[in-house]
Structure 1
Amino acid sequence: MRLFIAEKPSMAAELAKCLPGTASRKDGYIVTDGGVVTWGYGHVLRQAEPGEYDSRYEKWRAEDLPIIPADWKLLVADSCRKQFAVIKHLIEQANEIVHAGDPDREGQLLIDEVLDYLHNEKPVQRILLNALDEKSIKKAIADLRDNRDFFSLKQSALARSRADWLIGMNLSRAYTLAAQRAGHRTTLPVGRVKTPTLALVVRRERELEAFKPADYFTVKADFQHVNGVFTAYWKPRDNQAGMDSEGRLADAAVAKRLINAVETAAEASEVILCETSEKKEPQKLPVSLSSLQVMAGKKFGYDPQTVLDTAQKLYEKKLTTYPRSDCEFLPESQHADAAAILGNLRETGKCDLAQWSDGAEPTIVSRAWNDKKITAHHAIIPTTVKCNLMTMNESERNLYILIAQAYIAQFYPVHVYDQTKVEVSHAGETFTASGRIITEIGWKAVYGADTDDKKEEDGATLPAMTKGDAVTLLRASADKKSTKPPQRFTAATLLAAMKEIHKYVKNPELKKRLKDVAGIGTEATRATIIRELIERGFLIEQTKKKYLCPTDSAYLLIDALPDEMTYPDSTALWENILHEMAQGSESLEDFLTGQAEFAADLCGKAIGLTMPLQGEHHCPQCGQGVLQQRSGRNGKFWGCSRYPECRASYDDQGDAPKKPDYPCPRCRQGELRLKNGKNGNFWGCTKFPACRATYNDKEGKPALPER
């Protein structure tokens, strides 16, 4: 018996339809002439909690950290026990197994871990389902691969899962305990990707708080050439006075002198440089999940999770390919489907898709068709299944059009234009101008103004001129402008920052290395991470544009953690290692050893951490904790938040700690209490033996020295 194990029921149902014979549904599986199909519900197995390794870890204690499992333990998820029993029974009956998890790192692991858990030794093949339409599934069935080819991908997923456990379980406990010692009644979840993502928003908010607008001047001049008038912008010298650190002219007096010198100069002006070169701009690539999320966020205001959920629905309706893809390229073999897909899009009615498809040439092969850029999945594109836009809801329709638009653009020519650069010498100063003449609109006919991101001085139309031509100054001006504060993140722009994390890395060498790495997190997890930060109260969305703002808890967490955890340098480097591990060039064991050492180091830093105290009543004994109301055998009392390190306790008096009648004048941390000694009653400090202050008893009071 051949057994197919799909990741979820919907995928299993579509797979069964494409196998020979009539499909017969049973409890937890489907029987066909071509094999039996069963399914999981995502991760059937879960990572064991610390308390499931050892019951002493059920209570959070700093002295137990770090917790490093010697042998990693998986447990069957409670919600999946019945289905797991079905899978186990079917594996025992099968003589051949087909791994049908999603074609990505996580999809590879969640079926492999079940097979490993059950000590399967039967042959396993791998099917890569990048689309759920009949043609794609049947093609995938005919092209099964040996599952051993994907061992490195599984190792990468396993490394990610275990690293998240090591960082999350240990550092969340360490820094939560540190916060609680300072009186904060909160839990501080620390995550390998989650924390540096939150830190991006915290730092952006602090940039805004500290921002002070600064004035600067843009100097430009209009010149008359025999063939027409054009505007050129002043180019400062290398040693120009009055410039700020960003290379802008910030000194008003210098700007005024410059304009005066330019306008009063008697000498003639001359074109000292005139270069024209042909530029070609290749087709914008098809979309990955991240690029789709960013585009939809900017154009429609959709949050990343909505985009993922909607793309998943389009995939399950067989209208688009696998949505959790980090790839923007396409396999060369799929170019043969272009005519059919474009033909379907022409029939979508009186809409942009039909118009764009009419102008497409299916024989064009853009840079997107590149087998060397393909791993387990490819860019998100329309399938060969015809769509009816009228049956879609608004978000489905908008996303389908974005996906199809990017696909159609591959069948338009490259965008071609002539770029001209001009320099003019006048009054000893240099002015520059540039302009372009489009000679072939190409794929930009599909996008129009959406791709028009040229600078102000880059879009001018220049008269025909050559080097050495004379020009005449008509006027000069200095436009006063002010620097603008950085914009707050939205969910979409924060996701883009996670993908382009090299821009936020401090180390310049690491920044270069990480430029080509796909950021932190994965296509499937970035949206979830942002949503969790909002749901757990670390970020809130404000205004109609849903700008993300950090809460007090976010500041507390980020300020408590060392740079190693809040800056993305380490996380981005880890992601790079995981990527290389998927290619087979990194070791799982070495990576996890490094993660364990990192967790141990940061747990050690948490022990000596000083955090701002939260609470009205600071502990008079240790001075480092706060008194918190508790319940004991004899009713309410007040104890120090640093217990058991500090065992200070005070009676309750009107929902407040009763202040000591006689604070110790020597140590100023303890209090004097009546004791009985060999020679009768005396008063001693509660901090004994650290403080050995003693005083005679005088009518029930300590005989304190007069001040």
Structure 2
Amino acid sequence: MKLFIAEKPSMAAELAKCLPGPLVRKDGYIETGGGIVTWVFGHILRQAEPGEYDEKYKKWRAADLPIIPTEWKLLVADSCMKQFNIIKALIHRAAEIIHAGDPDREGQLLVDEVLGYTHNEKPVLRILLNALDEKSIKKALTNLRSNQDFFNLNQSALARSRADWLVGMNLSRAFTLAAQSAGHDITLPIGRVKTPTLALVVRREREIKNFKAADYFLIKADIKHENGSFKASWKAKEEQLGRDSEGRLVDPVIAQALIEKMEKAQEDVSIVSCDTNEKKEPQRLPFSLSALQVLAGKKYGYDPQAVLTGAQNLYEKKLTSYPRSDCDFLPESQKADATVILANLCNSQQEELAIWSSKADTKIKSRAWNDKKITAHHAIIPTEVPCKINTLPEIERNLYFLIAQAYVAQFYPVHVYNQTRAELEYAGEDFVANGRVIVTMGWKELYGGEVKEEEDEDSKTLPNMQKGDKAEFISAALEKRTTKPPVRFTSSTLLQAMKEIHKYVKNPELKKHLKDVSGIGTEATRASIIKELTVRSFLEEKKKYLYPTESAYLLIDALPEELTYPDSTAIWEIIFNRMVEGKAELTSFIGQQTEFITSLCLKAKEVQIENRDANVVKCPRCKQGVLKLRNGKNGAFWGCSRFPDCRGTCNDKDGQPQL
């Protein structure tokens, strides 16, 4: 008997439909002529809590840290016990098992966990389901692989899971105890990904609060060439006075003097150089989940969790491919499906999609079709299942539109334009003028005015001119600008920052190496991390912008930089990727994390956490803790919050410590 273990009931149902023979639904599984299909509910096995390793860990004590398991324990989640026993019995009956978890790191682990926990020794094959329509499933059934091929993916997922446990269980205890010693009645949840994510918002808010607006000046000149007029921008020389550290002209007296100098000069403008180059912009890539979350957030105001839910619904309706993808590329073999997909989009009852699809050219092969860029999954695209888009709920309708639009764009030509850059000289000053002329609109026809790259000056047309030409100076004017503070994060832009984490690392050398890493967190977890920070009152959302709470400031200020900057966790993501490639080992990584956790637990014992509550009384003995009212066998007394490290006490007098 063949046993298929799917990641969730909906996937199991679609898989069963594509197997031969009649379907018979049973409690927790489906019988077919081609085998039995059962399912898990995500991780039905959970990692043991510290207190389940040893009773003494149920009480939080700094002396017990760090807690490092010698053998890692998994336990069946209480809510999943019935389904687990069904799966266990089916594994015992099976002759062959097909692992049908989602085609990613977590999907690999959660079925492997069950197989390992039940000590399975039956042969295991792997099916990769990137879409749930009948054609995709039947094609996947003919391309089964040995589950052993995905051992490295399993090790990467285990490394992530265990590293998160070590950070969360140890450092949450260590720094919560330090905060409580300083008199704070708070629990500080620390996570490998969520803590540096929260720190991004805290630092951004402080930048905004400390920001001081400053005026600066631009100088724009009107120039007349025999072939037409245009504007040129003044460009400061290296030795120019009156500039700030960013190179902006900030001295109004010097700025006005430059204008007067130009107005008085009696000479021609010299065209020092004028170069025109043909530029090509390739088609916008189809979407990974993060890219879809970011664009849907900007265009429709959807938060990342809503986008994930909507994309999952489209997937379960078989209208789009697997949503939790971190890939922007497509397998070359799927290009053959384009004729059917485009024909369906022509009949989608959405006017723009219908027009665009009818003009698409399937002979065009964009950069998206690249087998070398595909891992376990590919970009999110429409399936071959027809979609009447107007029958979908609003969020699904808009997401399907974006996904289809990006897909159709792959069958339009590249965007071609001529970019001209002219350098000018006048009155001893340098000027520059940029312009572009569109040669082929190409794929940007689908996006109209949405896709704008440095539009103002660069997109204007310049007259035909050559190096050595002369032109006439007409006038110059000052444009006063004011610097603006950085913009607060929204859920979508914070998710984008998590994906583009190389921009926020502190180490400049590390920054160079992180551009190829797909950020911190996973496609499936980033939205839930942001939501958790909000639910636990470390972030609050006001008019779509995220603000840190007082608890957020307390947490981030209490922690060492190793936890608040993304450098360390970004390095871990590199190691996780190397594990997938077989270039790093789980045991070595956990050894490194053990050293890291141990050093941070020691730092927690030394950290000084400020308590701004005017009503607290410092312990007169250690000068670090605060006095807390306690009840002893002889009645009420005041004791140091750092007990047992400090045993300072004093009597209580009318609810106040008698110092």
TM-score of the two chains, using structure 2 as the length reference: 0.98
Is the CA contact 2:225–2:463 (under 8 Å) kept in the aligned structure 1?
yes
Cα 1:350/1:152, change in 2 over 3 Å: closer
1:196-215 superposed matches below 5 A = 196-215=196-215
1:221 aligns with 2:204: no
Looking at structure 2, the residues matched to 572 and 658 of structure 1 have their Cα atoms a distance apart, in angstroms, of 48
Instruction: Describe the SS at the equivalent of 1:336.
Output: helix
Aligned to 2:550: 552
Aligned amino acid, residue 323 of structure 1: P
Does the 8 Å CA contact 1:564/1:570 hold for their aligned counterparts?
A: yes
Q: Counterpart in 2 of 1:368?
A: 368
Separation (CA, whole Å) in 1 of partners of 2:635 and 2:87: 55
Contact 1:627 1:657 in 2 (8 A): no
Q: In the aligned structure 1, how far is the partner of 2:535 from the partner of 2:78?
A: 24
How many equivalent pairs are there?
A: 657
- 1:311 corresponds in structure 2 to 311
Q: Secondary structure at the match of 2:557?
A: helix
| Alpha carbons 1:18, 1:134 under 8 Å: kept | yes
The equivalent of 2:335 in structure 1 is 335
Take 2:346 and 2:657, find their aligned partners in 1: how far apart are those partners? 81
Q: What is the CA distance between 1:391 and its match in structure 2?
A: 2.0
CA shift at 1:460, angstroms? 1.4
Task: Name the structure 1 match of 2:401.
Answer: 401
CA distance in 2, matches of 1:640, 1:316: 57
Q: Secondary structure at the match of 2:31?
A: strand
1:413 pairs with 2:413: yes
Q: Deviations over 1:417-464 (max 9, x none)?
A: 111111111111111111111010000000111111324221211111
Q: Which amino acid letter does the alignment assign opposite residue 656 of structure 2? A: P
Shifted more, 483-492 versus 385-394: the winner is 385-394
**Equivalent position amino acid for 1:657 in 2:** Q
Alpha-carbon distance in structure 1 between the residues aligned to 2:422 and 2:621: 75
What's the CA shift string for 1:185-240, capped at 9, x where partnerless? 00001110110000000000000111001111111101001111100011111222
- Opposite residue 172 of structure 2, the aligned amino acid is S
- Corresponding position of 2:656: 657
Which residue of structure 2 lines up, in the alignment, with residue 499 of structure 1? 499
Checking the alignment, whether the CA contact within 8 Å between 1:640 and 1:647 is kept in structure 2 is yes
Letter of the structure 2 residue corresponding to residue 431 of structure 1? F
The residue matched to 2:450 in structure 1 has which SS?
helix
Structure 1 residue 405: deviation in Å?
0.6
TM alignment of 1:233-244, pairs within 5 A? 233-244=233-244
CA distances 1:526-546 after superposition (whole Å, capped 9, x unpaired): 001000000001000012xx1
Please say if residues 227 and 464 of structure 2, whose CA atoms lie closer than 8 Å, have aligned partners that are also in contact: yes
- 8 Å CA contact 2:270, 2:426 repeated in 1: yes
TM-fit CA distance, 1:647: 2.6
Equivalent residue letter for 1:467? K
The equivalent residue for 2:256 is 256
How far 1:635 moved relative to its partner? 4.5
Between stretches 360-369 and 489-498, larger displacement belongs to: 360-369
Query: What's the counterpart of residue 648 of structure 2?
Result: 648
Equivalent-residue separation in structure 1 for 2:631 and 2:549 (angstroms): 31
Tell me how far apart the structure 2 counterparts of residues 351 and 307 of structure 1 sit (CA, whole Å): 23
Query: Are 2:104 and 2:377, in contact at CA under 8 Å, matched by a contact in 1?
Result: yes
CA distance in 1 between partners of 2:482 and 2:113 (Å): 57
Paired residue secondary structure (1:408): helix
Structure 1 Cα separation of the partners of residues 175 and 349 of structure 2: 58
What secondary structure is seen at the aligned counterpart in 2 of 1:295? helix
In structure 2, C-alpha distance between the alignment counterparts of 1:63 and 1:335, rounded to whole Å: 60
**Secondary structure at 2:280's aligned position in 1?**
strand
For 1:153 and 1:86, how far apart are their aligned partners in 2? Answer: 26
CA distance in 2, matches of 1:224, 1:185: 71
Q: After TM superposition, list the pairs within 5 Å mapping 1:650-689 onto structure 2.
A: 650-654=650-654, 656-660=655-659
> Structure 2 stretches of 5 or more lacking a match?
none
Alpha-carbon distance between aligned partners in 1 of 2:570 and 2:646, rounded to the nearest angstrom:
40
Residue of structure 2 equivalent to 1:674: none
The corresponding residue for 1:516 is 516
AA aligned to 1:479 is E
Hey, what does 1:598 align to over in structure 2?
596
Distance 2:490 2:350 in 1: 34
Distance 1:182 1:54 in 2: 28
| Contact 2:276–2:419 (Cα < 8 Å) also in 1 | yes
Partner residue, 2:489: 489
The whole-number CA distance in structure 1 between the counterparts of 2:506 and 2:167 is 21
Q: State the 1:653 CA deviation.
A: 3.7
In the TM superposition, residue 648 of structure 1 has moved relative to its aligned partner by 3.1
* Rg larger in structure: 1
- Cα shift readout 1:674-695 (whole Å, capped 9, x = no counterpart): xxxxxxxxxxxxxxxxxxxxxx
Contact 1:637 1:657 in 2 (8 A): no
CA distance in 1, matches of 2:460, 2:48: 63
Deviation at 1:244, TM superposition (A): 1.6
Please list the CA deviations of residues 31-89 of structure 1 after superposition, one character each: whole Å capped at 9, or x if unmatched: 00101001000001110100111111110000000001011111111111111111111
Partner of 1:102: 102
Q: Which residue of 2 aligns with 1:358?
A: 358
Shift of 1:608: 1.0
SS at match of 1:449: coil
Deviation larger for 316-325 or 578-587: 578-587
1:229 partner letter: S
Deviation at 1:497, TM superposition (A): 0.3
1:585 maps to 2:583: yes
The aligned residue for residue 436 of structure 1 is 436
Amino acid across the alignment from 2:498: M
CA contact (8 A) 2:520 2:570 kept: yes
Ranges in structure 1 where 5+ consecutive residues have no aligned partner: 661-707
Moved more, 440-449 or 238-247: 238-247
**What per-residue deviation string (whole Å, max 9, x for no partner) do you get for residues 317-339 of structure 1?**
00000000000000000000001
- Whether contact under 8 Å (2:652, 2:658) holds in the other structure is no
Q: 1:427 and 1:209, CA in 2 relative to 1: closer, same or farther beyond 3 A? A: same
Percent of counterpart pairs with the same letter? 66
Is the 2:350–2:389 Cα contact (8 Å) retained in structure 1? no
Residue 562 of structure 2: SS of its match in structure 1? helix
Deviates more, 1:207-216 or 1:630-639: 630-639
In 2: Cα distance, 1:547 partner to 1:421 partner = 39
Give the Cα–Cα distance (whole angstroms) in 1 for the partners of residues 240 and 539 of structure 2.
44
CA distance in 1, matches of 2:262, 2:516: 45
Partner of 1:90: 90
Give the distance between the partners of 1:144 and 1:126, measured in 2 at CA: 6
Question: CA deviation digits over 1:93-132, x for unaligned, max 9?
Answer: 1111000000000000000111111121111110000000
* Map of 2:298 onto structure 1: 298
CA distance in 2, matches of 1:451, 1:579: 32
Tell me how far apart the structure 2 counterparts of residues 646 and 358 of structure 1 sit (CA, whole Å).
78
Matched AA of 1:329: F
**Counterparts of 1:71 and 1:95 in 2: how far apart (Å)?**
30
Deviation at 1:561, TM superposition (A): 0.6
TM-score, scaled relative to structure 1: 0.92
Matching residue within 589, 606, 609 for 2:607: 609
Question: Which amino acid is 2:563 matched to?
Answer: M
Q: What displacement does 1:265 show?
A: 1.0
Given that 1:18 and 1:137 are in contact with CA atoms closer than 8 Å, whether structure 2 keeps it comes out as yes
Amino acid across the alignment from 1:101: G
Deviation (angstroms), 1:634? 4.7
- For residue 75 of structure 1, what is the aligned residue in structure 2? 75
Query: SS of 1:92's equivalent?
Result: helix
SS at match of 2:410: helix
Deviation at 1:350, TM superposition (A): 4.5
* CA drift at 1:621: 2.9
Distance 2:138 2:350 in 1: 33
1:534 and 1:175 mapped to 2: Cα distance? 20
RMSD (Å), alpha carbons: 1.1
8 Å contact 1:282–1:414 — kept in the other structure? yes
State yes or no: 1:459 paired with 2:464: no
The answer on whether the counterparts of 1:315 and 1:323 sit within 8 Å (CA) in structure 2 is yes
Task: Report what 1:132 is aligned to.
Answer: 132
- Which moves more between the two structures, 520-529 or 246-255? 246-255
2:586 is aligned with 1:576:
no
Correspondences of 1:619-658 after superposition (within 5 Å): 619-654=619-654, 656-658=655-657
Q: Alignment partner of 1:261: what SS?
A: helix
